[in-house]
Structure formats: structure tokens, C-alpha cells
Amino acid sequence: MKTIIEQLVFHEGYRKYPYKDTEGHLTIGYGYNLDVNGLPKDICKELTTRKIDENWTKLIRNDWFSQLSVVRKKVILDMAYNLGVPGLYKFKKMIQALKKEDYDKASDEMLNSLWAKQVKGRAIRLAKMMRTGEDY
């Protein structure tokens, strides 16, 4: 098995970003055909887990994040997953409210954003979790 993997890696080459192969199929990695195969659920969960871990590492350095309850950390991690950490950091008024442990204000700032208009129900659920500290 190891030698066939090495052979395919050699022949296919690695592409980090999706591209169209010679037949026009969306392909990624070492020639993995997304059009035909899609992505298996376990691979998608692994990618999601990796991104959450990466975001956690970036966010835990912030006192305002580290002092949050588990539920409120979930809110911030959800937002960071959706927006990226740099996008999350644009929520300056929300972060200021979190520093003051003013969760009503933080929730209001979440809802008073373009992001909330775009993600609708997700924003409403997350803002409620931020406000109450309760999971849904």
C-alpha cells in the first residue's frame, strides 16, 4: 500500500486548492476527484476539528476569551469558524463588551451586524447563547 501511495503522490503532485483536471472535474490534493467522489463525512469532520483547534490556539491567548464560560467560548469559536479569526476580530464592540463581561451588549453587537443579516438563524441562536450563557 505504501508504494502505491508514493507512486500516486509522485504522479499526481499535490494541489492545496481545488482545480479542474484535464477532463474538467473539480480535483484537490493528490488528484482526488471531488466531482465524482465528494468528500467523506469523516474527512469533513477532521477538517472542521483541525480548524477549530487552530482557532482555539489563536483565541486562547486573549484574556477576554479565556475567561468565558464553555458555552460562550462555543459561540466565539462558531463565529471564528464562520468568519475566520481576523473577521471575528472586526467585532470590536462585541469584544469590548466581553472584556467587561457585559454579555447583553456583546449579544446586541452580534445582532447589529452584516454577519447577522447574512447568517440569520445562526446569529439569533448564538446571540441567545451569548446573552444567557445557556446552550441550545
- For 81-129, how does the pLDDT look when each residue is reduced to its tens digit (9 = 90+)? 999 999 999 999 999 999 999 999 999 999 999 999 999 999 999 999 9
Residue 2 has pLDDT above 90, yes or no: no
Helix, strand, coil % in the chain, rounded to nearest 5 = 65, 10, 25
Of 58, 97, 99, which Cα lies nearest the Cα of 110? 97
pTM of the model: 0.90
Q: Which structural domains are found in the chain, ordered by start? A: 2-37 (no CATH), 41-132 (1.10.530.40)
Q: In whole angstroms, what is the distance from residue 89 CA to residue 95 CA?
A: 8
49-94 tens-digit pLDDT? 999 999 999 999 999 999 999 999 999 999 999 999 999 999 999 9
**Residues making up the chain, counted from first to last:** 136
Of 51, 53, 23, which Cα lies nearest the Cα of 36? 23
CA quadruple 69, 80, 132, 65: dihedral sign: positive
Residue 28, strand partner residues = 32
Asked if 104 contacts 88 with a C-beta cutoff of 8 angstroms, the reply is no
Q: In whole angstroms, what is the distance from residue 63 CA to residue 60 CA?
A: 7
